[in-house]
Amino acid sequence: MATRARVDTGRDLAAHYRAVRGLSLAIAAPLSDADATIQPMPDASPAKWHLAHTNWFFETFVLRDHLPGYRLFDERWAYLFNSYYEGEGDRHARPRRGMLSRPSLDEIRAWRAAVDAALLGAIDDLPADLILLGLHHEQQHQELMLMDLTATFAENPLSPAVWPSEEAAPAALPAPAKWIEGGEGLREIGDDGAGFAFDCERPRHKTYVARHALADRLVTNAEWIAFIESGGYGDPLLWLSDGWAWVQAERIEAPLHWRRGDAGWQRFALDGLRPVGPAEPVCHINHYEADAFARWAGARLPTEAEWETAADGIDPASGNQLDAAGPVRPQPAMGSGRLGQMFGDVWEWTQSAFLPFPGFRPAPGAVGEYNGKFMCSQMVLRGGSCATPRGHLRASYRNFFYPHQRWMFSGLRLARDC
C-alpha cells in the first residue's frame, strides 16, 4: 500500500472520519454555488471540485473496490472528478474544472452524504489503511481549498472576505533571529513506522548532515519589506537564473496577494484586505524568492535533512495550525530562544529537490500514482502552515511544489554553514 497505518477500526476511525469530512463541509459552508465553482487559475481548483474529488477517492478506492454490491452514485461523475490517476481512465481537463456548473454544490453535498452513510455502515469490513489514506488525502485538499479560495476571492475587485473577522492589533516585532546549531554527522530521516505516512516519506535511511545552524524563527514581513526597499527584486546577483527570468517576465515586486497602498503595504487573505503585519511571517513566496532573500541576508535555505533532524522530538501538533473553518493567518513568533514555529504558520522552503529516498518503491495500482510520478522538477517544503489541519503533520512530512509557484501558504527559515 501507499501508506502504513496503525489505527483501530470501528469507533476511533469512524470518529476521525466524521471529523475530517465535517471540516471540509464547514470550510465550504459560507460559499454560494458561484463561489464554489470559480477557478482562478489552472493550478487551482474550485471548492466544489475539491469536495467532489475527495468524495470520488473514497467511493472509488474504498467502496467500489472493497464493498460488494456497492453501486456508484452517478457513473458519469468519475470522469469529472478524477484528478491525475491514469489507471482510472480519462478525465475532465484540469484547466477547465471551473466550467463545471453542474452538478450543483447541493448535489455534491448529497453525494458526500451517501458515501458517508455507505462507508460508515460497513467500516469494520473495509481496509483501514485505505480509509486513513483517504482522510489524509482529504486533509491535503482542505488546505488546497483554502489556498484556492484565497486566490479566487483575490480576483474580485471588492476584495471580499471569505470569513469576516476583527482586525488584530499589531504585534510587537520579534527579537532578531538567533542561530541554533544543528546536529552533525550520519543521521536518519524518513518515516519511523510509528503511524501514518505517505509513500514519499519512506524508507527511513541514513544521510550525512554537515555542521550548520538554523534560525530560531521564520522570516517576518518587516524583514521582507527591508528586502524590497533595498532593491532585492531588482538585483540580478541575488537570483537563480530561472528566478530572475520569472521576476522580469512577471514584473514581480512583492509576495503574492500584497498590494501597495497610500498607507503602505496591504495583503489580501481569507479575512479580506488588511495592512501587512510587520511581525507576522512572510507568506505566499516561491522558491526563487526564498532563495534570493536568503542570499541577500547572507544565509541560505536549509536542506530537508537539516530541517527534519531539527524537528525530531518537537510535537508536530504544536504551533499555529488549522483547527476549525474560519480565517487563517500566520502568527508572530513568541521569541522562546529555541527553535520555534517549526510546525504551522507557513510551509518552509528547503534547498532540496523532491526526489525519491534511497530504496523508494511506489505501491502497485492506481494508488501508487499518489506521489512517485511527481518526483521531478519540484522542491521540498517542510513544517506545515496555518491552513494545515492539526494532526496531519509529522517531522518526516514532505510537501512539494514547483519553484515558481506561490499561492500556497509558503515562507522561509534561514540556515547557514558553521
Q: Are residue 184 and residue 140 in the same domain, yes or no?
A: no
Residue whose C-alpha is closest to residue 249's, from 283, 221, 288: 288
Q: Are residue 211 and residue 112 in the same domain, yes or no?
A: no
Question: Given a cut of 90, is residue 307 above it in pLDDT?
Answer: yes
Q: Are residue 383 and residue 271 in the same domain, yes or no?
A: yes
The rounded distance, in Å, linking the Cα atoms of 17 and 410 is: 28
Q: Are residue 196 and residue 135 in the same domain, yes or no?
A: no
In a domain, 320, yes or no: yes
As a whole number, the mean pLDDT across the chain is 94
Residue 371 — very low, low, confident or very high, per pLDDT cuts 50/70/90? confident
The 10s digit of each residue's pLDDT in 16-63 is 999 999 999 999 999 999 999 999 999 999 999 999 999 999 999 999
End-of-domain residue from the set 91, 119, 154? 154
pLDDT > 90: percent of the chain: 87
Q: What is the mean pLDDT of residues 88-115?
A: 96
Quick one: how far is CA 137 from the chain centroid?
Answer: 11
The rounded distance, in Å, linking the Cα atoms of 298 and 301 is: 11
The rounded distance, in Å, linking the Cα atoms of 224 and 251 is: 17
Indicate the number of domains in the chain. Answer: 2
Q: Are residue 106 and residue 204 in the same domain, yes or no?
A: no
The pLDDT value given to residue 214: 98
Q: Are residue 230 and residue 321 in the same domain, yes or no?
A: yes
The CATH code of the domain that includes 356 is 3.90.1580.10
DSSP characters for 374-399?
Answer: G-SS-EEEES--TTSBTTS--TT--E
The pLDDT value given to residue 4: 34
The pLDDT value given to residue 169: 82
In a domain, 246, yes or no: yes
In a domain, 4, yes or no: no
Peptide bond into 203 cis (omega under 30): yes
Please give the grid coordinates belonging to residue 48: 466544489
Domain that holds residue 102: 11-154
Please give the grid coordinates belonging to residue 47: 471548492
Question: Given a cut of 80, is residue 292 above it in pLDDT?
Answer: yes
Q: Are residue 142 and residue 240 in the same domain, yes or no?
A: no
The rounded distance, in Å, linking the Cα atoms of 379 and 311 is: 19
The 10s digit of each residue's pLDDT in 236-290 is 999 999 999 999 999 999 999 999 988 899 999 999 999 999 999 999 999 999 9
pLDDT > 70: percent of the chain: 95
In a domain, 60, yes or no: yes
Task: Tell me the pTM.
Answer: 0.94
In a domain, 2, yes or no: no
The pLDDT value given to residue 373: 84
The 10s digit of each residue's pLDDT in 142-184 is 999 999 999 999 999 999 999 988 887 888 999 999 999 998 9
In a domain, 5, yes or no: no
In a domain, 198, yes or no: yes
In a domain, 221, yes or no: yes
Q: Are residue 98 and residue 184 in the same domain, yes or no?
A: no
Please give the grid coordinates belonging to residue 107: 448535489
Q: Are residue 185 and residue 97 in the same domain, yes or no?
A: no
End-of-domain residue from the set 119, 154, 189? 154
Q: Are residue 185 and residue 327 in the same domain, yes or no?
A: yes
